[in-house]
Structure formats: C-alpha cells, structure tokens
Structure 1
C-alpha cells in the first residue's frame, strides 16, 4: 500500500516530497503544484491542497511553514490529490482504517489525532503550539 508509505514518511520525517517545516509558499507550490486554496488571516496563511493542508506564519518574515496536516478523512469525498503525490506514491485508497494509522503512531511520534472517524496526521513546530 504505497499510500501508507506516504503517511508514514510525513509522520516520521515531517516533509512532503522533500519540502517541510520552514519552507515558504513558493517551495510548496513547486512541490505540490498550483491546485490549492489559500485562506489568509492576520499573520497566518492556511494552504489547502485537499489531502495536505499547510500552515504558514509571518512571525519570522517572510512566510514560512510551521504546520503540515494530512487530512486522510477527506479521501472519502473523492478530492483531488496533487499529481506529484500520485506520481511518487501511486493511487491513494479512499479509506484507511483507523487501526492502520494508529499502528504508525507507535513508531512515529508526530502522528496525532487518529480518531477512527477523522484520521489526521499533523506535524508542527513548537512555535505553532505557543500561538502567534
């Protein structure tokens, strides 16, 4: 199941296709493409690629990524997955059983929020935990 390789990689390494925490929005666009929705707020930016959601802050000027979330539950809604991800990992199954993701959490401490109804993989810096 190549999609499980993706989930494990993000949880263990904190990057997606080599782009990770600290990268700017342009670096993420280069990695995942231009098919995203930006939701800008005061000093913050949330970039939504469907399966992958990113959080940016301007606290350090310029904008840099402080959070990566993999929204596994969104696969149920036949969302668009960036072609760079399907090219690297193949097709993603529309469902991943909660116990499968939970088994990843025993070896990957960055995996959080694996409720069986809405499994999500998140990786944040300490700055994100403190707020902006």
Structure 2
C-alpha cells in the first residue's frame, strides 16, 4: 500500500510544479487586452484552485507516509510549516488573481494587482522549492 501512496505522492508533487511556472504565467497578464486579461486571470485562478486541492492531497498522502516511517521531529516541523505557508500564500494569491480579473473587466488595467500577484507567485515558487529540497534531503536534518 505504501508503494502506491508514494507513487500518488510523487504524481501530486509533479502537479505542484504549476507553482514553478506561475510567476512566468502571471507576468504575461499585463501584455494582453482587457477581455483577454480577464479570461486569463480566470484560468490562472482556476489552476491555482486545482493546485490548492493537489496541495491538500499531498498533505494527506504525505501524512500517511510519515505515519509508516520514522522521521526527525525537526524535519516534520519544517515540512509542516512550509506546507501550511504555501497553502496560505496560494490562498491569498487566489484572492489577488480574482481582483486582477475584476480590474481587467472593469477598466482594463491590472498593474497594481499584477505586481502583488507576481510577488505572491514568486513566494509560492520559493516555498515549493524549499519543500522539494526538504523532501530530497530527509536524512540531512
């Protein structure tokens, strides 16, 4: 059973790679016209929502895997903090992407919301990079 759970956990981790692409996708939003910006923001928001569900799936499968093996308490705390932080940042990012879409529909300018969305997407990419590092270096901590 744990081999299947590990497989599902790795597949979910591949899906989380969306957060590595998100800063580049958000930066393109300002280069589009008003209607395209609104649609693009809606697609990004939907993809972010799906990735949040994948993060929850990762949390559950990771919890199962942690229960089967022995890990360092420091490693467990660090991973938990970064996974929760990633969830929080992506939740805030979802709100910013919604405002980006609303601003594009209303007046066609997304600059203030795009800059905050871009910053949050970079933060989420860094958090995911830290999580991947921690997952690959279990014994080092």
TM-score interval (norm. to shorter): under 0.3
Q: TM-score, normalised by structure 1?
A: 0.27
Larger relative helix fraction: 2
Q: Which one has the bigger strand percentage?
A: 1
Task: Name the structure, 1 or 2, with higher relative contact order (CA <8 Å, separation 6+).
Answer: 2
Q: Larger Rg: 1 or 2? A: 2
Q: Normalising to structure 2: TM-score of the pair? A: 0.26
